[in-house]
Amino acid sequence: MNTNLSNLEKSVDASVSPIVFTSEYIAPWALPKEEIPIHLVWNPDSKFDYIEISIPPHMEIKEFYNVESFEKVDSKMVVRKLKSLNFFGFVVILNEIIKEKHEKKEIVVDFVLGDKVQYSRSFIANICRPELSMIEKPSIIVLRDDSDTRDLVNLSLKISGFGRIEVTTELSIGGKFEPNVEPLYRETARRLAACFRSKESHVDKKKEIQINPAYVQKTTREFIDKVRKGELLLDLELEDLEDFKAWVGDESNYTKMVELVSEQLETILIDSLLYYFDRYPTEGVELSGGSPDIIVESATQDVRMRFRYKDSLGNEYEPVQVDIPIKDLRNDKKAGLKVPINIKWVHEQINPLLEGAKC
């Protein structure tokens, strides 16, 4: 059955009793690509021939509730038959990443009798996203022999919008961007490299605190996989580094490797809760790789930092990039210098129910 929806009159037929809704709902907010449930419940005596749903571009209906038959007509969805008389629901998602921190999307549900809309209900989907921005950075990094490296690079990053974020820091000095390696992995590699030849970890196995074994196993597998793929920049002497990579890559060592890595990980986690605060520096932020630092070996290039971030659903947004020139006034310019990146986090959260939004 085809219906010319463009000819429908957007007016209520006064000769027919109006539809009385006893319940209606739409999720108050959602991230991009997050499911948004909507439902309506009405008086069973209400009269209509079909239900027409209009949704904005880049939005789709993922699922219906209590619907027996439906079809797409033009750009709209038409529900022909319900399983029971007075209930109807569906789930929509927005399939694009919004540019604004908060955007409103209108979803219209029309109950049609004959060629007239008997009742029209408009729902507003509040789509929200987090946003990361740089609000303060040094204009230049000046290196001197007496420089306090702990206070050379201070940044301020603002977290606005809505939702939790995971931030990955990538650093470069005159080369390609490299992800910041987690302190947990760095320390594990350092300890493991010191004991892999003897195949003994020299770890005191008497522990009063127990770490979740499932977490230790998962992290162990991730660590071994990253080492094998060359994703970890290991701070080892060249000879040790080559031997260590060969040992990790040998499948016959896997069982012993898992045992040693698991023991080292568990000990590090018990010894230092600072790892937790390093990875979760402020409310709503997970800093993958922990607090970043750079190794300055040549001051002929700018320090380049890129902050990639994604929300709790894995939606990735436009990264924040910053370039800072270096001026090296040290006598020994060839000596490597480790410089921590200090980040101040500024929060500016929104309430999607009160905040004005782009439609």
* Each residue's pLDDT tens digit, 246-257: 877 888 877 877
- Extended strands (E) in 248-302: 285-288, 293-296
0.75 cut: is pTM over it?
A: no
Q: What is the mean pLDDT of the chain?
A: 80
Q: Residue 301 pLDDT more than 70?
A: no
Q: Return the closest-CA partner of residue 287 out of 265, 307, 264, 263.
A: 307
**For 176-204, what is the mean pLDDT?**
56
Is residue 207 scored above 60 in pLDDT?
Answer: no
- Mean local confidence (pLDDT), 237-243: 70
Instruction: Give the residue, 66 or 18, on which the prediction is more confident.
Output: 66
What's the first-to-final CA gap in the chain, in angstroms?
A: 34
Residues 196/332, Cβ–Cβ less than 8 Å: no
The pLDDT, as a whole number, for residue 262 is: 73
- CATH code of the region 5-128: 2.60.40.290
pLDDT of residue 186: 59
Model confidence at 234: pLDDT above 70: no
pLDDT of residue 196: 59
Mean pLDDT for 265-280 is 60
Q: Strand, helix or coil at 46? A: coil
What is the pLDDT, as a whole number, of residue 24? 94
DSSP 17: P
The average pLDDT across 60-69 equals 95
Taking each helix axis from N to C end, the angle separating 183-195 and 254-271, rounded to the nearest 10 degrees, works out to 130
Q: What distance in Å separates the CA atoms of residue 332 and residue 339, rounded to the nearest whole number? A: 16
Q: Between the ranges 120-124, 325-329, 333-337, where is the mean pLDDT highest?
A: 120-124
Contact 289, 231 (CB under 8 A): no
- The answer, yes or no, to whether residue 137 has pLDDT greater than 70, is yes
Q: How far is CA 208 from the centre of its chain?
A: 35
Cβ atoms < 10 Å from Cβ of 117: 19
- CA distances for 108 relative to 38, 53, 139, 181, 214, angstroms: 11, 6, 51, 48, 47
Residue 269 has pLDDT above 70, yes or no: no
CB 111 within 8 A of CB 40: no
Tell the burial category of 119 from Cβ atoms under 10 Å away from its Cβ (0-12, 13-18, 19+): buried
* Residue 8 predicted with pLDDT over 60: no
Q: What is the mean pLDDT of residues 34-62?
A: 94
Q: What is the pLDDT of residues 104-125, one digit of tens each?
A: 999 999 999 988 998 899 999 9
Output b/e per residue, 57-74; b: 16+ Cβ within 10 A: eebebeebebbeebeeee
Please report, rounded to a whole number, the percentage of residues in the chain having pLDDT higher than 90. 38
DSSP 102-146: EEEEEEEEEEEETTEEEEEEEEEEEEE-EEEEEEE--S-EEE-TT
